[in-house]
A and B are shown apart, each in its own frame.
Chain A
Amino acid sequence: MRETIVGPFAGKFVGHAVRRVEDPRLLTGEGRYVDDVQLSGMLHAAFVRSPHAHAHIRNIEVAAARRSPGVVDIITGAEMETLVHPFIGMLALKGLYDPRFYALSSKRVRHVGDPVAIVIAESRAQAEDAIELVEVSYETIEAVANASDALDSRKPPLWDNRSNVLFDFANTYGEVDAAFAGADRVISHQFKEQRVSNQPMETRGIVVEIDPKSSAITVHAATQSAHMLKWVLALLSDRASIPASIKTLAINRDRVTRFAKSAKAILTAKPELKEPSPMMPAMVKQFRAEPSRFVDLQRAMLGLLAKSDNDRPEVLARDIGGAFGTKGSASREDLAVYAAARKLGRSVKWIEDRNEHLMGGGHSRDEIVDISMAVRNDGTLLGMKVSLTLDQGAYPAFPFGGSMFSQIIRVMFPGPYRVPVMQFNGKVVATNKGTLVAYRGPWAVETFVRERMFDMVARELGITAAEVRLRNIVTMAELPTPMITGPMLDVRMSAHRTLVDAIAIADYDNWPAAQLAARANGKILGLGIATFCEAAPGPPDFFEHSIPGSGALAGIEPAKIVLEADGMVAVITQQVPHGQGHETTLAQVAADQLGIPIEAIRVRYGDTKITPFAMMGTGGSRSAAMAGGVVTFAARELKERIVDIAADLMEASREDIVIEAGNVHVAGVPARGITLADIAVEARRRDQNAAPGEAIRVAQEFDGGEGGWTQATHACWVEVDLETGQVAIPRYVVVEDCGEIINPAIVDGQIRGGIAQGIGQVLYEKITYDDAGQFQTGTFMDYLIPTACEIPDIEIHHIETPSEIEANYRGVGEGGMVVAPAALTNAIENALAHLGVRISEPYLPPSKILELAGVIQTARSTAR
């Protein structure tokens, strides 16, 4: 079933499983991951972390630790507050309270692993020795250990004597009550998703390099967005008072002028930003309620304005050992290490260990969803009522976390189905747990709940799981049609076709008979299906429907493409690949446009000194469409410029110039061709202002055009062993449509990798806290990552809906992980249905399977 990988290829590259450009470097040990950065005189950081879920800090005693060998400095939370600004949430949503917090905690700790001091020493081992000598006196507070605690007003508040419900919202789409009143049946269920964690094989890490001579700052980081990290560090570091910043600006008026100039340039380029943001009313309300919030924000912004170029970092992200969303945030630790390096004027390295990464490196999911579906007896869906409670832990991810995910969950809930009316209520709550971050489809609960619920509705109504879906899924004849929540399902929305194909491939109609026959032979088999769509990148207005006011900044993808003086072509992207193979795929796209071999292209990324500005980085299944698109169009413009020069040099008309395999020639006479190096020489002769090493430079931005969706149906077969509780997956089928495929081996790798994480979530993975908020899964012996023995062979069937749209590439990064938990859980429930089993949570280790099947007694749950 796997794609044949092709080697050097002379024709079209897009559509072929071209070998990865990255591999020779990465497979020989020549990769440079953040922990590989070793600088002379570099210091090492380690964090003193809270052992308690919730406690007041009464005292910190660091004298003994300071005397420990190799210790250079210890910065406690109180001192850190003089060095940095607080993190201030940037999302202004009606009804949202976004707490402010510092890089280190000074008065109160809010989860196990909450950092309270940073130790800087000559070696990592010495820093770790010293943290043992820091004596922190805690006075514990009752923990808010889970969402039900957060909803209990008798429990202590985490933030400023406010409710632990930080965000409470409700959206009504259509006449919901009337639809429910007219239904044959209203079927309701409560679902939960356990807390899981991304756990890339490389933990988080940062090296803040301070040039001893110039004091220029280079931040080596494992980050999904280099520019985001740069500007967050610049904004929140070097805390100064407002008068001090004004004084600096009075002395350095050029900084005000420079700011005004760049602001004007941005507003000219993006006039929509002049309109008052839909976020303004909520923001003003936030400031009125909390004037100190306004002061903090102004202080940070003025401080940023007053900074010289040399006081802002450049970020350099090289090879990154996976992320899946967790490196899309700027973390408290990043800022603490940065502040320590700035204070000491020395380079400092911090590499998180696995225990820290499990505790505080980023968790995800952790939702409770109550859903009611109003249906006719034939399975037609008349409306949904959904109530979401999302547990984002103690500290919201920055810049975006649980509140943003709650909005995407809302918008995505209908998926590719006809949902005539919908009521959506949501709560985001604070608990004494680690930070909730994006994890490969941070909205995935909508797919899990909707696709589980369809199975439950089918069982209630006595129809098949396929039938209930077929009755409600949007067919291609209905396109385009908007989702009830706003975003448009365009004419390429082929979810219906993936469902129909999967049903046929699975021989679904004959399944009940096959299942019964197997059961007669003592085999407990199940088949589950699930269908979904992912915004990859979504229609043009997708962000506006999620977070009004966010679209103008979120949507733009820039790229530069340069013919270099030596005839090589550089593609310079703001994407920060961390396993996706952009050095290969973006080169394929550019190579086809230019008519040159892959080997003639270098993809450059991760360095804020050279890459175009964008805050999004790599994430959200956006890069195929967004970066693939902008590279297509920029490369096309570069080709036009090359052809102009070639036509002059060869005294031919532009239309007759052909570029094939790097040979620029007049059609029909390849033997008399010239090279891109020849073009580069001529271009540099014509353009005396070309930058050193460059001949022709093209810069473009792309708004995503039509955007679009990726959609798929997964079918999963299981065999359940009722003696051991083990679940085997004898077959797994994917039918998906992501438009034109740039590199089939990379696409399939993304799908398989996502499904592996989805299988992990269902059968193995759970981040566990006890009722007192104590963390219980601090090693890979407790938090189980699936191995090669646990992941089945996965059959992938691609379909491509024909389209006139240029660069019809769409992302596939998240889908496998979004839909696999639903498909697998549906299969397990199908296997156990004859025992009356109903499954509400996608965490089904052997003990849970045996409990559900009634083989063993339900253990008293001590861990939630």
Chain B
Amino acid sequence: MNSTNSRIAVAITVNGTAHELQVPARQTLAECVREELGLTGTHLGCEHGVCGACTVLVDGQAARSCLVLTVQADGATIETVESLANDDTLHAVQQAMVDNHGFQCAFCAPGFLMTIKALIDNQAVLTKATLREELSGNLCRCTGYASILAGAEAVLGLTGESNA
């Protein structure tokens, strides 16, 4: 029973701010950003690594924060959806989604936005078809994906190409 109460020291940088935390060993990174740090933009849809709503960037790579323990992220740099906009200026991926009516309920949006941000940052070479594959780890139940793909294609510069 003590094991559930024991806390472990971790140092993580989240959205540019360094945090030194004492966290339970079993705490997930999603719980850490949502509950310890109050960054509730990251959403939990399934808590078993399928839906992708909780996707954040860990050292620049998209990761499901429901499957990462906070202690595993010790020393890492984390980016969440709250890091994207700069004051009132939306990040290009956010603006592209606004322009294309990307989302409806938008519960899945943070995961898509961070997945696409990683594609942009990592200069992924994509076609419309491989973009679908890259986004297939994020579930949306509202849109049928067309509007999300349109937003992603716009921000990734895939609009001119045929849908091959």
Could you tell me if B43 and A202 are in contact, using CB atoms closer than 8 angstroms? yes
State A835–B31 Cα separation when bound (angstroms).
54
Does A520 lie at the interface of the complex (its beta carbon under 8 Å from any beta carbon of B)? Answer: no
> Shortest distance in angstroms between A758's beta carbon and chain B's nearest beta carbon?
10
Does B42 lie at the interface of the complex (its beta carbon under 8 Å from any beta carbon of A)? Answer: yes
Contacts of B38 in A (CB 8 A): 38
List A19-38 residues whose CB lies under 8 Å from chain B.
19-20, 22-24, 26-33, 35-36, 38
Contacts of A322 in B (CB 8 A): 104-105, 107, 141-142
Contacts of A324 in B (CB 8 A): 141
Does A803 lie at the interface of the complex (its beta carbon under 8 Å from any beta carbon of B)? Answer: no
Could you tell me if A202 and B143 are in contact, using CB atoms closer than 8 angstroms? no
Cβ-closest chain B residue relative to A5: B99
State A5–B102 Cα separation when bound (angstroms).
11
Contacts of B9 in A (CB 8 A): none
> Shortest distance in angstroms between A756's beta carbon and chain B's nearest beta carbon?
3
The contact string, 1 if C-beta is below 8 Å from chain A, for chain B 88-124, is: 0010001001111111111111100100000000000
Contacts of A201 in B (CB 8 A): 43, 45, 51, 53, 105, 107-108, 139-142
> Shortest distance in angstroms between A388's beta carbon and chain B's nearest beta carbon?
27
Could you tell me if B139 and A27 are in contact, using CB atoms closer than 8 angstroms? no
Cβ-closest chain A residue relative to B105: A579
Does B16 lie at the interface of the complex (its beta carbon under 8 Å from any beta carbon of A)? Answer: no
Contacts A321-B105, A753-B142: A28 and B48 contacting too (C-beta < 8 A)?
A: no
Could you tell me if B42 and A29 are in contact, using CB atoms closer than 8 angstroms? yes
Could you tell me if A5 and B105 are in contact, using CB atoms closer than 8 angstroms? no
Contacts of A23 in B (CB 8 A): 97-98, 102-103, 106
Contacts of A579 in B (CB 8 A): 104-106, 142
Does B35 lie at the interface of the complex (its beta carbon under 8 Å from any beta carbon of A)? Answer: yes
Could you tell me if A28 and B90 are in contact, using CB atoms closer than 8 angstroms? yes
State A503–B44 Cα separation when bound (angstroms).
44
The listed residue (B34, B51, B100, B144) touching A5 by CB distance below 8 A is B100
Could you tell me if A752 and B144 are in contact, using CB atoms closer than 8 angstroms? yes
Does A580 lie at the interface of the complex (its beta carbon under 8 Å from any beta carbon of B)? Answer: yes
Contacts A35-B44, A202-B107, A580-B104: A28 and B81 contacting too (C-beta < 8 A)?
A: yes
> Shortest distance in angstroms between A726's beta carbon and chain B's nearest beta carbon?
15
Contacts of B48 in A (CB 8 A): 354, 779-781
Interface of B is mostly: loop
Does A199 lie at the interface of the complex (its beta carbon under 8 Å from any beta carbon of B)? Answer: yes
Could you tell me if A199 and B147 are in contact, using CB atoms closer than 8 angstroms? no
Contacts of A793 in B (CB 8 A): 146, 163
Contacts A29-B42, A29-B81: A2 and B141 contacting too (C-beta < 8 A)?
A: no
Could you tell me if B99 and A791 are in contact, using CB atoms closer than 8 angstroms? no
The contact string, 1 if C-beta is below 8 Å from chain B, for chain A 589-612, is: 000000000000000000000000
Does A234 lie at the interface of the complex (its beta carbon under 8 Å from any beta carbon of B)? Answer: no
Does B135 lie at the interface of the complex (its beta carbon under 8 Å from any beta carbon of A)? Answer: yes
Does B133 lie at the interface of the complex (its beta carbon under 8 Å from any beta carbon of A)? Answer: yes
Contacts of A780 in B (CB 8 A): 46, 48, 50-51, 139
List A781-798 residues whose CB lies under 8 Å from chain B.
781, 785, 787-789, 791, 793-794
State A779–B45 Cα separation when bound (angstroms).
12
Contacts of B144 in A (CB 8 A): 749, 752-756, 791, 794
> Shortest distance in angstroms between A150's beta carbon and chain B's nearest beta carbon?
30
Contacts A69-B5, A753-B142, A793-B146: A578 and B105 contacting too (C-beta < 8 A)?
A: yes
> Shortest distance in angstroms between A580's beta carbon and chain B's nearest beta carbon?
7
State A586–B148 Cα separation when bound (angstroms).
23
Cβ-closest chain B residue relative to A755: B144
> Shortest distance in angstroms between B96's beta carbon and chain A's nearest beta carbon?
10
Could you tell me if A745 and B136 are in contact, using CB atoms closer than 8 angstroms? no
Could you tell me if A320 and B94 are in contact, using CB atoms closer than 8 angstroms? no
Could you tell me if A28 and B99 are in contact, using CB atoms closer than 8 angstroms? no
> Shortest distance in angstroms between A134's beta carbon and chain B's nearest beta carbon?
16
> Shortest distance in angstroms between B111's beta carbon and chain A's nearest beta carbon?
9
> Shortest distance in angstroms between A338's beta carbon and chain B's nearest beta carbon?
23
The listed residue (B40, B103, B136, B145) touching A26 by CB distance below 8 A is B103
Does A554 lie at the interface of the complex (its beta carbon under 8 Å from any beta carbon of B)? Answer: no
> Shortest distance in angstroms between A196's beta carbon and chain B's nearest beta carbon?
12
> Shortest distance in angstroms between B88's beta carbon and chain A's nearest beta carbon?
9
> Shortest distance in angstroms between A483's beta carbon and chain B's nearest beta carbon?
30
Does A353 lie at the interface of the complex (its beta carbon under 8 Å from any beta carbon of B)? Answer: yes
List B72-94 residues whose CB lies under 8 Å from chain A.
80-82, 84-85, 90, 94
Could you tell me if B148 and A788 are in contact, using CB atoms closer than 8 angstroms? yes
> Shortest distance in angstroms between B57's beta carbon and chain A's nearest beta carbon?
14
Contacts of B99 in A (CB 8 A): 5, 19
The listed residue (B50, B101, B105) touching A781 by CB distance below 8 A is B50
The contact string, 1 if C-beta is below 8 Å from chain B, for chain A 336-357, is: 0000000000000000011000
Contacts A2-B100, A29-B80, A779-B48: A756 and B107 contacting too (C-beta < 8 A)?
A: no
List A751-780 residues whose CB lies under 8 Å from chain B.
752-757, 779-780
State A581–B5 Cα separation when bound (angstroms).
43
Contacts of B102 in A (CB 8 A): 23, 27
Contacts of B21 in A (CB 8 A): none
Cβ-closest chain B residue relative to A744: B101
The listed residue (B106, B136, B163) touching A789 by CB distance below 8 A is B136
Does A682 lie at the interface of the complex (its beta carbon under 8 Å from any beta carbon of B)? Answer: no
For B51, B81, B106, which residue has the most chain A Cβ atoms within 10 angstroms? B106
Could you tell me if A20 and B163 are in contact, using CB atoms closer than 8 angstroms? no
State A324–B41 Cα separation when bound (angstroms).
22
The contact string, 1 if C-beta is below 8 Å from chain B, for chain A 792-817, is: 01100000000000000000000000
Could you tell me if A19 and B98 are in contact, using CB atoms closer than 8 angstroms? yes
List B32-64 residues whose CB lies under 8 Å from chain A.
34-35, 38-48, 50-51, 53
State A33–B148 Cα separation when bound (angstroms).
21
Does A637 lie at the interface of the complex (its beta carbon under 8 Å from any beta carbon of B)? Answer: no
Contacts of A284 in B (CB 8 A): none
> Shortest distance in angstroms between B4's beta carbon and chain A's nearest beta carbon?
7
Contacts of A24 in B (CB 8 A): 90, 98
Does B132 lie at the interface of the complex (its beta carbon under 8 Å from any beta carbon of A)? Answer: yes
Could you tell me if B105 and A200 are in contact, using CB atoms closer than 8 angstroms? yes
Contacts of B138 in A (CB 8 A): 787-788
List A27-67 residues whose CB lies under 8 Å from chain B.
27-33, 35-36, 38
Does B1 lie at the interface of the complex (its beta carbon under 8 Å from any beta carbon of A)? Answer: yes
Contacts A201-B141, A322-B142, A753-B143: A745 and B101 contacting too (C-beta < 8 A)?
A: yes
Cβ-closest chain B residue relative to A577: B105
Does B149 lie at the interface of the complex (its beta carbon under 8 Å from any beta carbon of A)? Answer: yes
Could you tell me if B147 and A320 are in contact, using CB atoms closer than 8 angstroms? no
Does A335 lie at the interface of the complex (its beta carbon under 8 Å from any beta carbon of B)? Answer: no
Contacts A19-B99, A24-B98: A785 and B105 contacting too (C-beta < 8 A)?
A: no
For B48, B53, B103, B141, which residue has the most chain A Cβ atoms within 10 angstroms? B141
Does A315 lie at the interface of the complex (its beta carbon under 8 Å from any beta carbon of B)? Answer: no
Contacts A27-B94, A28-B94, A787-B136: A38 and B101 contacting too (C-beta < 8 A)?
A: no
Cβ-closest chain A residue relative to B5: A69
Contacts A23-B98, A29-B80, A788-B148: A125 and B107 contacting too (C-beta < 8 A)?
A: no
Known contacts A33-B107, A201-B45, A354-B48; 19 additional CB pairs below 8 A are A29-B82, A31-B106, A33-B43, A35-B43, A125-B26, A319-B105, A322-B107, A322-B141, A353-B47, A354-B51, A581-B104, A752-B143, A753-B104, A780-B48, A781-B48, A787-B145, A788-B148, A791-B144, A791-B145
5 contacts between A and B (CB under 8 A): A29-B81, A319-B106, A580-B104, A756-B143, A794-B144
